Amino acid sequence: MAAMERQADEEMLWLKRDKFPLWIYAGADGKLLNDLATRSSGPLYEPDGVNGWATICMRLGDRCRDQARSPAKSEGEKARLYNNAALYYGIARFPATETPLKQEAYSRQRSALSEGSHYFPFDFRREQIPYGDRDIAVNYYLPRPEKEIVRPEGVLLTGGADCTKEDLHYIAMQVVGAGMTCMTIDMPGTGENAWKLEPPGGNEVYSRAIKYLAGRGESDPSRVGMMGTGFGGYWTLVAASTSPEIKAAVNCGSPVHRAFSRDNVRKWPGYMKIPLARAMGIDLMEFNKALDALEEFPLFKREDLRRIACPLLSINGSDDPYVPIEDLFMIAEEGGVKQEEWVYREDGHCAPGQCGIWIPRSVAWLANKLGGPERIPRPDLATL
């Protein structure tokens, strides 16, 4: 029991460093998150219990949703409350849907965004992309029409093993707020994505989604970009090297080579191992199988990164404990790729401590690379 409590405490320290800053930036109340950390044993230990992680967060989500349904609230207040409801449901689900209550939380997260879509200052809808005998579920964001008749840029946004497309809503809102269409997609094996996580070439889910985004007619097919966080950055690099539709790409925190070593993966916290194993269809008790499978993922084994011809931006914290910062530099040094590099000193995986800086800057970077250098004037971009 003492060993389990120590592990729970360690996991909570990781969460406070790696996830709390992102959730607070997305709109969560920092005091409520700290109360959650004090009252619960974290997302992995009895999360469905009376004072469990999922139980507490579900109540927070329900409270926001119920307030949003009040006729006394303005449209702007309703939009904010539905956004917060979806956020808290996503935190309840974190890092995977391995319990009944977490599965319910994910269902309510999707419903909150659908309900809230009536009040958003942009068009939001859930769509299904036919692919083989199954469909790829995506969320689609479309800016409201402007006076000029110009089709906007399109951006595909994806996350990692512990992050669903709904969890990326706060970034997608910035993309669509910048006048670009945005489509969010779950990484294989996560969220609603029915395909298992496997090395590049195993399935073409991202390729199919990119072609769908480029061909749907509501965005300019010659100005399509992609942004990925964590393992989603890995798939962004793959897409940039294999999909000619991608004209600019942002990778934040992608594992590339050394991150996949057995010794490195063994050091990952449970909240990273559990969703990764589930994404691969592997029982956590047989995690050695995941270690074996991950040996096939290093990008230099799978792709010729020299084929990346579009502008590429790579971002991470210098002290990332899961993805060695050398992985970011290897893209250029060993992969032969010209890229811009934003490395935030003394920050962790995906630079959570500086997310309020790099997220809006990277959205502006994408807009300017896809739409022209003055698409979104940002003098600070020139100083990075």
Lowest-pLDDT choice from 7-11, 234-238, 256-260, 352-356: 7-11
Query: Which pLDDT score, from 0 to 100, does residue 65 have?
Result: 99
Q: What is the pLDDT of residues 95-106, one digit of tens each?
A: 999 999 999 999
Asked which of 2-6, 165-169, 367-371 is least confident by mean pLDDT, the reply is 2-6
How far is residue 57's CA from residue 93's CA, in Å, rounded to a whole number? 9
Q: What is the model's pLDDT at position 383?
A: 46
What are the pLDDT digits (tens) for 326-344?
Answer: 999 999 999 999 999 999 9
User: What's the residue count for the chain?
Assistant: 384
Characterise 179 by phi-psi region: left (phi > 0), alpha (psi -120 to 50), beta (else).
left
Lowest mean pLDDT among 22-31, 154-163, 282-291: 282-291
Q: Which burial class, exposed, middle or buried, applies to 319 when counting CB atoms under 10 A from its CB (0-12, 13-18, 19+)?
A: middle
pLDDT in the model for residue 9: 81
Q: What is the pLDDT of residue 187?
A: 98
| Residue 56 backbone phi and psi in degrees, to 5 | -65, -45
Q: 201 falls in which pLDDT band (50, 70, 90)?
A: confident
What average pLDDT does this structure show over 121-138? 97
57-to-40, 46, 106, 121, 177 alpha-carbon distances in Å: 10, 13, 12, 26, 28
Residue 74: pLDDT over 70:
yes
The per-residue pLDDT for range 243-279, each reduced to its tens digit, is 999 999 999 999 999 999 999 999 999 999 999 999 9
Tell me, what's the pLDDT at 1?
53
For the segment 209-234, the average pLDDT, to the nearest whole number, is: 97
The percent of residues in the chain predicted with pLDDT above 90, rounded, is 90
What is the mean pLDDT of the segment spanning 56-70?
Answer: 99
pLDDT interval class at 2 (50, 70, 90):
low
Mind listing the domains of the chain with CATH numbers?
A: 2-114 (no CATH), 122-383 (3.40.50.1820)
Residue 378 pLDDT: 66
Mean pLDDT, all residues of the chain:
95
Please, are residues 344 and 316 in contact by the beta-carbon 8 Å criterion?
yes
**Percent of the chain surpassing pLDDT 70:** 95
pLDDT over threshold 70, residue 148: no
In the structure, what pLDDT confidence band is assigned to residue 382 with cuts at 50, 70 and 90? very low
Q: Is pLDDT of 300 > 80?
A: yes
Terminal alpha carbon distance of the chain: 48
Distance between CA 84 and CA 223 in Å, rounded?
Answer: 31
What is the number of other CB atoms lying within 10 angstroms of the CB of residue 211?
A: 16
Pair 253, 316: CB distance under 8 Å: yes
Return the HEC string of the chain: CHHHHHHHHHHHHHHHHHCHHHHHHHCCCHHHHHHHHHHCCCCCCCCCCCCCHHHHHHHHHHHHHHHHCCCCCCHHHHHHHHHHHHHHHHHHHCCCCCCHHHHHHHHHHHHHHHHHCCCCCCEEEEEEEEECCEEEEEEEEECCCCCCCCCCCEEEEECCCCCCCHHHHHHHHHHHHCCCEEEEECCCCCCCCCCCCCCCCCCCHHHHHHHHHHHCCCCCCCCEEEEEECHHHHHHHHHHHHCCCEEEEEEECCCCCHHHCHHHHHCCCHHHHHHHHHHCCCCHHHHHHHHHHHCCCCHHHHCCHHHCCCCEEEEEECCCCCCCHHHHHHHHHCCCCCCEEEEECCCCCCCHHHHHHHHHHHHHHHHHHHHCCCCCCCHHHHHC
